[in-house]
Every structure is written in structure tokens, then in C-alpha cells.
Amino acid sequence: MPPDQGALVAQEVAHVVYAASPAAGAQMRARTGDVILDIGATATLAGAEWVASYVARLPPGTRARIISVVEAAVFTLGDGNTKRAYERVTLPLLVGGETCYVRTWVVAGHLPMLLCRATMASLGVVLDVAACRMEVKALGVEVPLSMSVAGHLTLNALDSRAETGVLSVLSEVLATARA
């Protein structure tokens, strides 16, 4: 399209992360409960070590509602490597102060939960990439997102204060200032 016809040009910033040593790679690991929003993923996945760490942080009553089913599947990740899953678990996630249940395939390792496009669509997620936030229509909440060191949009499914939005943070600041 000729420039005088109002062509739009997309601008991109590439996030490149180099891990010079295993110690540097360990520093980039996700916090317990971090969930990556992965619109390119065809299934929601999580590493067994991530799942174990996440479940250990849940209250006992919440843990009792987790459902585990033996199922097998093979997934190809973005780097071309494959991962085998032998279990599918339904986990409670705290999103914007509301709880929802998400089915995830469990694979070996530390892989944080990768929330796939189908799962996000079932929750009615609308992403605002520029503002780093999402609306979750099924829960009636708007959730601020974080950016990982690798450039992924993330939320923490254990940290309700991080997901409750700017108003609750401002309320806490005002309450502290008044005290």
C-alpha cells in the first residue's frame, strides 16, 4: 500500500534472554503460582514440579477439590522438544480475587503453567497487551498482568493482591498513609 493511503506499521520489541550459566537460568525461573498466557499453545500444560509446589501452597480444603485423572499425550513445545504427559489435573487458580478451575496436562520438570488459547477463550479472556492487563468475562474481573524476564505476559494464581487491580493497591496505600 502506498504511504499516502494510511498504511499501518506494526512496531515490535524483541526480548532476547541469554542464560550464561545454570545459575542464571535458575534465577529466571517463575515464582510458584506464575502462569504464562500462551495464545500459541494448543493445550494448557504445567510441569510436575510446578504443580507440586503450587498445590503445596494451597489451603488443605482447596487441595481436597483437586481432581487428577490418568491420561497420556505427547506435546511439542515451541522449541521443538516434545514432552509426555501421563496425568491431567484440574487445579483452582485465583484470578482477580476469584477462583476458577483449570484442567492442565502435567509434564515432567519445572515448566510453569502455560495457559492455552482455548482455556483463555472458555474464560472469556480479552487481552490488552499494550496495557498489560486482561478482562476475564466469566469471572467479571479485570486483572493486571506482569511481564516475565523472557517477555511473557503472566499472572500469579496464588497472589490475590497482585490480581485485584489498581484500586485495591491504592486503597492499601491510602489506609497505610492514614494510619
- Give the three cell numbers for residue 67: 481432581
User: Which one is predicted more confidently, 88 or 78?
Assistant: 88
| pTM (two decimals) | 0.74
116 near 103, Cβ under 8 Å? no
Is the pLDDT assigned to residue 11 strictly greater than 80? Answer: no
pLDDT at 162: 42
Residues 17-51: tens digit of each pLDDT: 444 444 444 444 568 899 999 999 999 999 999 99
Q: How far is CA 97 from CA 76, 140, 157, 164, in A?
A: 33, 10, 9, 6
Does the domain at residues 32-178 carry the CATH identifier 2.40.70.10? Answer: yes
